Amino acid sequence: MRLLVLGGTRFLGRHVVDAALVRGHAVTIFTRGQNPLPWSGQVEALTGNRDPRIAPGLAALGHGVWDAVVDTSGYVPRIVDASASLLKGRATRYLLVSSISAYASSALPGQDGAAPVLPPVDRDNEDIPNNYGALKASCEDVVTQHFGAGATNVRPGLIVGPFDPTDRFAYWVARFIHPALLGSRPQQAVLPAPAKRPIQVIDGRDLARWMVALLENDIAGTFNACSPEGRWTIGDLIDALVDAAPSPPEPAWIDEATLHAHAVKPWTGLPLWVPSNDSDHTGFMSFDCTKAAHAGLTARFLAQTIDDTAAWLVARDNVGAWKNVLSADTERAILAGDIR
């Protein structure tokens, strides 16, 4: 298979390239050329910019034919439209990495791919931080308009594992296994009670391998892509972290009222925490991914993702990391029972 990856050097795209090369496919990547390539001589590297308004734009994609495209870096409909329209007729299938944030609501658990998505924003609105989900939903529409039955839309939940540039899952790995990466931390670790709170994650390597398989089998459709609903809780994650850590901190399960009193930010300040009083997101960690499972998506054991993430964390440059997570001072204040 001749595969074109839009992106490919950072996180999920990197895993897609790895998976495709293992399977013996011919891979072309299109990037800005800002990151070193880990596949010396194994891929064709094209350089440009996804935004056609920024030179040299998509000029490097003006020629070539591919069996499939994986779009890991499409966030704005105008920009996705530029690549999809250019590649229409020169690629058989276009797989867009979308997001479960595209849904109109995550208030109810168990939603599948047929649930309503967010309405489109104004065409000139490209505010990704504030309109991420709506923009992703609109990007899906663009791909479907151009490729029809050749469109595949994948909506992952939280993607985790090595090379994850966010501090969400990695925060917990660092807190239990490499706490020194977070600075001086107390001997107890603040956790969001209750331990039975559901979580959904997908290792980027599992997601990448599955997406390559979808393309190999020319499979169309829209898929939620995460671990099975109800498979894991935050307590399961903490148990796995304790088992993996040589000297784990003592878990301290803290009620939500206390976390709110200390202005802890859900999801970012204390990763994976979605408060129970956030009625708009009650089902955010409980999407139905049965369709993807039937199409071959599997999720490896948490322990393997934890071990591999821990090894990667100590090898990467952690300068600039952990800017948004719970600070050591706030963690101590919470454990001490201080009221702000």
**Same domain for 89 and 9:** yes
Sign of the C-alpha dihedral, residues 228, 231, 234, 239? Answer: negative
Q: Quick: pLDDT tens for 296-335.
A: 999 999 999 999 999 999 999 998 899 999 999 999 999 9
- Domain stops at, among 156, 189, 221: 156
Name the 3-class secondary structure at 176.
helix
**Same domain for 318 and 189:** yes
Distance (Å, rounded) from C-alpha 58 to C-alpha 6?
A: 11
**Tally: H helices and E strands in the chain:** 10, 13
pLDDT of residue 338 exceeding 80, the answer is no
For residue 257, CA distances in Å to 183, 186, 192, 298, 339 come to: 26, 21, 10, 36, 11
* Domain boundaries, position 48: 2-156
pLDDT band at 206 (very low <50, low <70, confident <90, very high): very high
**Same domain for 118 and 57:** yes
Give CA 319 to chain center in angstroms. 21
Distance (Å, rounded) from C-alpha 86 to C-alpha 57?
A: 12
- Domain stops at, among 156, 185, 208: 156
User: What is the model's pLDDT at position 173?
Assistant: 98
Select from 90, 47, 87, 55 the least CA-distant residue to 71: 87
Burial grade of 22 (CB within 10 A; 0-12, 13-18, 19 or more): exposed
Cross-strand bridge partners of residue 254: 192
Which residue is listed with tokens 């997001």?
Answer: 99
Structure tokens at 154: 């994948």
**Same domain for 140 and 244:** no
* Residues composing the chain: 340
Q: What percent of the chain has pLDDT over 90?
A: 91
| Of 35-44, 53-62, 114-123, highest mean pLDDT | 53-62
- Domain stops at, among 128, 156, 184: 156
Strand pairing of 44-47 and 26-31? parallel
**144-168 average pLDDT score:** 96
**Same domain for 263 and 133:** no
In a domain, 211, yes or no: no
In a domain, 29, yes or no: yes
> What are the contacts of 105-108 at 24+ separation with CB within 8 A?
105/280, 106/280, 106/281, 106/282, 106/283, 106/284, 106/287, 107/279, 107/280, 107/281, 107/282, 107/283, 108/282, 108/283
Distance (Å, rounded) from C-alpha 95 to C-alpha 213?
A: 12
In a domain, 182, yes or no: yes
**Same domain for 192 and 112:** no
User: What is the model's pLDDT at position 340?
Assistant: 52
Identify residue 320 by its one-letter amino acid code: G
**Same domain for 263 and 312:** yes
**Same domain for 152 and 72:** yes
pLDDT of residue 8 exceeding 90, the answer is no
pLDDT of residue 123 exceeding 90, the answer is no
pLDDT of residue 291 exceeding 80, the answer is yes
**Same domain for 127 and 82:** yes
Distance (Å, rounded) from C-alpha 212 to C-alpha 4?
A: 11
**259-270 average pLDDT score:** 95
For residue 69, CA distances in Å to 100, 223, 237, 315, 336 come to: 21, 17, 34, 31, 53
**Same domain for 180 and 54:** no
In a domain, 294, yes or no: no
User: What is the model's pLDDT at position 339?
Assistant: 60
Strand pairing of 250-254 and 188-192? parallel
**Same domain for 76 and 27:** yes
In a domain, 260, yes or no: yes
Structurally, the chain folds into a number of domains equal to 2
Question: Poorest-confidence range of 24-28, 46-50, 136-140, 164-168?
Answer: 164-168
In a domain, 80, yes or no: yes
In a domain, 295, yes or no: no
**Same domain for 321 and 175:** yes
Q: How many CB atoms lie within 10 A of CB 223?
A: 26
In a domain, 225, yes or no: no
